[in-house]
Amino acid sequence: MSLPKIDLPLFELTVPSSGKKVKYRPYNVREEKILLVAQESDDIDQTILAIKQIITNCVYDLDVNEIPMFDLEYIMLNIRAKSVNNEIEFNIIDNETDETVTLKLDINNIKLIQNEKHSKKIDLDNDYTLIMKYPTIDKINNDEDLVINCIDLLVSNDGEKVYKLSEYTKEEIEKFIEELNPKNIDSIKIFFKTMPVLKLEIPYKDKNGDDKTFVLEGLSNFFT
C-alpha cells in the first residue's frame, strides 16, 4: 500500500498590479530545498530561477513570465509566510560601528509603496503618447534592453493610430528611441524610478544606543 498524498491548504491573494485574485498553496519541502540551494549559491540568477519555479508550482492560473517584478516579490513573500511563518531573522553589518546586528522582519508589515507621481503614460508631444509596461523577472536584470522591453504601445493622441512595439524589431525600436528628445528620455527614466516597490523599514539601536533604520527593498534584499 502506497503512502497517501497530503493535500496542502489553499489561500487567496490579490495581485497588486491587476487586482486579480489568485489561489496559491504553501511550498513543500522539495520546493523549499530548491530555494535554499539557490540562496546559498549567492547567485541572483539562480535565485530568480528558483522563485519562478516555486511560483509556477504553487500559484494557480498565473503566468510568472508575464507579471511585474513587484507582483512576483509580493506573491513569493506571501507563499513564504504561509509555508514557514511570517517572521524572518537575519544579520546585518552596521556601516558606522561595524557591529553585527540581528534583525527580525514580519512579512505582514512589508508594504507595496506606490508613488503618486508614477504614470505608465508618457506624453511625447501633441501627437503621440507612449504606454509603458512593467519589467518582468526575466527583463529586470537586462539594463541594456530594459527600455526596449518596457515600451508597450505608441498611441496617437486622437486614438486613431496604435503601434504595438512587440511587433517591431529591436533595431526599429532602438532607432525610434534614439530620435526622442532628452525630455522624453527623462520621462521614461522617471517611470522606472517611481515604479511600485516592496519596502520595509526596520528600526534598531546600535551598540552606542543610537537609533538607526535598516531599509529592505527589492528582490536581492528579500530573497538572498
Indicate the range of 3-17, 48-62, 115-129 predicted with least confidence. Answer: 3-17
Q: How far is CA 210 from CA 22, 162, 205, 213, in A?
A: 43, 56, 5, 10
Structural domain harbouring 136: 121-193
Judged against a pLDDT cut of 60, whether residue 209 lies above it is answered with yes
Catalogue the E-assigned strands of 72-160: 87-93, 100-106, 111-113, 121-123, 128-132, 151-156
Contact between 112 and 195 (Cβ < 8 Å) = no
Instruction: Give this prediction's pTM.
Output: 0.79
Question: Is the pLDDT assigned to residue 98 strictly greater than 80?
Answer: yes
Asked if residue 33 belongs to a domain, the reply is: yes
Q: Both 106 and 208 in a single domain?
A: yes
Q: Which three cell numbers stand for residue 147?
A: 527600455
Same domain membership, residue 212 and residue 155 = no
Burial (CB < 10 A; 0-12, 13-18, 19+), residue 158, is exposed
Whether the CB-CB separation of 224 and 47 falls below 8 Å is answered with yes
What average pLDDT does range 52-73 have in this prediction? 91
**pLDDT exceeds 80 at position 64:** yes
More confident residue, 1 or 85: 85
Answer yes or no: do 97 and 23 share one domain. yes
Q: Are 51 and 72 in contact (CB under 8 A)?
A: yes
Average pLDDT over residues 107-125: 89
Number of domains in the chain: 2
pLDDT in tens, 151-171: 999 999 988 999 999 999 999
Contact 118, 195 (CB under 8 A): yes
Q: Is 3 within a domain? A: no
Residues 205 and 169 in one domain: no
Higher pLDDT among residues 8 and 186, named by residue: 186
DSSP code of residue 59: B
Residue among 68, 80, 66, 69 nearest 34 (CA): 80
Average the pLDDT over 98-118 and give the result. Answer: 89
